[in-house]
Structure formats: C-alpha cells, structure tokens
Amino acid sequence: MKPIHAWLGIGLFVAGLCIPAKAALEEQFTVAQLREDCRVLRAALEQLHAGLYLHTSREEMDKALDELSDSFNKPATRREFYLRAAPVVELAKCGHTYFDLPQRTLDALGNKREMFPLPLIFLGGRAHVDQTVGPIPLGAEIKSINRRPMTEILRQLMPYV
C-alpha cells in the first residue's frame, strides 16, 4: 500500500466510523474546512506520489487542484467533496491512486439515486452487459441510457470507476 492511500484512506475511514454512512455523506462542512481538506489532499499528492506528473503535467494538475479548492465557495457535504475531488485525483492516471472511502459510505453514496439494473463492464470506451439478464445477452453493448449517449455518460462516470 502506498503512503498516499494511508493518508487518504485512514483519515476517511476513521471519519466514517464515527458517523452512520448516510449521515456522514450529508454532513455539512464550512468553506474553510473544505479548502483545508483540499490543501491536505494537494500536500499528500505532491509529497507522496512519485509519479504524479508522469501522465499529467504539473501545470494541468496545479490548475485542477486550484480549481477544486476555489470551487468551494459555500458549505458543502462530504458527498459533494468526493464528487469534486475524485476526478482531480484521477488525473494522476495511476491505478494505485484513487479517492477511497469506507465500503459502507460508498454503498450509501451509490444508494442516493437508483442504480442501473444491469451489471456492466467497460472495455475500449464502451459499456457491455457483464452477465445475461433476462432477454439481454452477455456482451450486449449499451449505446444509450434514457436517450443519453453512452459516450456522454462514460465521460462523467469514468473518473469514479
């Protein structure tokens, strides 16, 4: 386990133990607290991730981290912080670096909205059904959901996968 996982994972895990998962996700934080979390996230990435700029330039990463911090101009929930911070962390483009939350918190995050009823696998920028479900065969490509093109959905979804 890399040290960055320890910093991010342990802190969020401990915070998640103290409050029920759904309540933890909806807890409000002040602008000062959110920006401090952004500062700690930036410090952890810059000090502990040896390949932070391997696939993303320093300028692009700095801009994304600055914009993340600046985006918090009013109180926000842990859910909102996660949804904004996860794509920034994903810019490291490292399979070992991701924004991790305790499983029960992730479950609560996913339960906020209805879940897609089919198990999917993502291959080559496309979504395919991962097991036979009713009349839809294994491997069928999902091209849109509710008339929304899958390319658009994947662009939003992939930073969280």
Domain assignments of the chain as residue spans, ordered by start: 3-110, 120-160
Give me the amino acid identity at 67: E
Sign of CA dihedral 46, 47, 48, 54: positive
Question: What is the structure's pLDDT at 160?
Answer: 65
Question: What is the structure's pLDDT at 116?
Answer: 74
What is the Cα–Cα distance from 138 to 129, expressed in whole angstroms?
A: 5
Query: What are the residues facing 120 on neighbouring strands?
Result: 129
Question: What is the structure's pLDDT at 42?
Answer: 95
3-state secondary structure (DSSP) of residue 27: coil
Could you say which DSSP state residue 113 is in?
S
Spell out the residues 6+ positions from residue 37 whose beta carbon is closer than 8 angstroms to its own.
29, 81, 85
pLDDT per residue as tens, the chain (161 positions): 444 444 444 444 444 444 455 677 788 999 999 999 999 999 999 999 989 999 999 999 999 999 999 999 999 998 899 889 988 998 988 878 877 777 777 676 666 555 677 888 888 888 899 888 788 899 999 999 889 999 998 888 777 66
Question: What is the structure's pLDDT at 114?
Answer: 57
Question: What is the structure's pLDDT at 140?
Answer: 92
Which pTM does this prediction carry?
0.61
3-state secondary structure (DSSP) of residue 64: helix
Place of tokens 């101009």: 73
